[in-house]
Amino acid sequence: MDHLPESIQEALAFEKSNQALGSVIQDQFYDAPGQDDAKAAPGTLFKVEKDVDTSKFLLPATTALSRFVYQSETMSGVKTPVSAYVLWPYSPRSQSDGYSVVAWAHGTSGFGPNAAPSNHKNLWQHFQAPYQLALQGYLVVATDYAGLGVSKQASGESIGIEWCTGPSQANDVIYSVQAVQAAFPELSKQFVVIGQSQGGGAAWAVAQKAAAAPIPGYLGAVAVSPYTSLLKETNSDIVELAIAIQSPAMAAALPAYDPKGLLNDEGLNVYKTVYDMDGAIFSGLALLSGKGTLKSDCKENPHYRKFQEMTINGGKAIAGPLLVIHGKDDPALPISATDSAVEETAKRFPSSQIEYVSLPGVTHVSALSASQHIYMDWIQDRFAGREVPPGCSRHELAAARPEKSRQGEQNWYLSLATQPYHAPGP
């Protein structure tokens, strides 16, 4: 990667420094199961590391960490091993049948095996959501998504990353819960799903899958700043990124698809480099930004349009309550696409149980902070068995202070305390 610009090399070095246990390629935990297990049913537990050395991570005090590998399935029906983590509260909330489980679907962490949140020192989104959920007493189960962490099939074939492919990520979420319930019988069979950005799209896709076939124990989903569909996306930078990064997923779902139909020569070179450098999202975005990777008529490509229809969130039946939250100043995934997805779902399926909360002056990731008490109460209500009436309710959350006086974006990053004066307490 010596040919990359210095700024991207610096970003890659920083991302590497945040690997908790070194490269996943050298960590035997992330090795694929044996050939005998390759055809195991989705939801099968392959391996579990019940007590991970938390000193290698940046976790809230009193929490504990487990990792496991399980069988999932792609949108095309290919069985795929996937890694995940469990973040344990000190004393979990409980249902009548065990500890309360929340499945966390993370926002985009990167485009290669080493972008796995389970090997990130702060589990990638730290206090933005997974830490807060655990500190509120929920047992957090978090998939890495297929291709992140475990990188190869038992056959040695590389596992493709089906980025922002809702049905695939929904499978990863659902089967991670089933596998962890087998690993830890003290867990409840009931669970709630929450995700942000790509993970928000995954959460919405879980609700759509539940309409097609019941999911045992599923109580509802929260989609924060959700990805819905590129067909409705207005951010040209996101469209350029998504088409390049979604190419492997399109190829897996549509055998006749050829990336040359969407990407110009520069695009073909750039998207290959993104995967080869195995970085997190920031280095990938920096490499792709402003490159002009797409052909002028790419949005009319029939394979592109078919894939978007296959993976779209919105306008499809959902089962169970769905809470959708979106910042009105989101520059990454503008709220207009979510407006359209909610409206179309409510119109076509008026009995859907949807609550839609918009957040003035709030952007993409900060929507998690602005709405935390909203989704925490909502999750608690699902475990309490409170009924949600059919229909779509919409409301806008009012800010207590003017925008100019509020902190806009996160301006800090977690780092290890190496000296006594770095952290409070003895």
- 375-409 pLDDT, tens per residue? 999 999 999 999 999 999 999 999 999 999 999 99
pLDDT, residue 78, reads 94
pTM of the model: 0.96
Cβ atoms < 10 Å from Cβ of 331: 11
In angstroms, the CA 27 to CA 7 distance is 28
Q: Where are the domains of the chain?
A: 6-232+309-398
Is 90 exceeded by the pLDDT of residue 96? yes
* Contact criterion met (CB below 8 Å) for 97 and 190: yes
Distance separating alpha carbons of residues 383 and 366, to the nearest angstrom? 26
Q: What contacts 371, CB < 8 A, 6 or more positions away?
A: 224, 325, 357, 359, 397
pLDDT recorded at residue 292? 76
pLDDT in tens, 185-220: 999 999 999 999 999 999 999 999 999 999 999 999
Sign (positive or negative) of CA dihedral 184, 167, 39, 142? negative
Give residue 229's identity as a one-letter amino acid code. Answer: S
Q: Can you tell me whether residue 158 is helix, strand or coil?
A: strand
By the 8 A CB rule, do 319 and 210 touch? yes
Nearest CA among 189, 223, 186 for reference residue 203: 223
Cβ(252)–Cβ(223) below 8 Å: no
* CATH code for the part of the protein at 6-232+309-398: 3.40.50.1820
> How many of the other CB atoms lie within 10 Å of CB of 84?
30
CB distance 195 to 228 below 8 Å: no
Token pair in block for residue 276:
């080869």
Query: With bands split at pLDDT 50, 70 and 90, how would you rate the model's confidence at 245?
Result: confident
Stronger pLDDT, 278 or 360, i.e. the higher one: 360
Tell me what pLDDT residue 295 has: 85
β-pairing, 98-105 vs 94-95, is antiparallel
Of 143 and 290, the structure prediction assigns the larger pLDDT to: 143
Which residues, other chains included, contact 310 with Cβ-Cβ below 8 Å and sequence gap of 6+?
A: 75, 167, 253
Residue 339 has pLDDT above 90, yes or no: yes
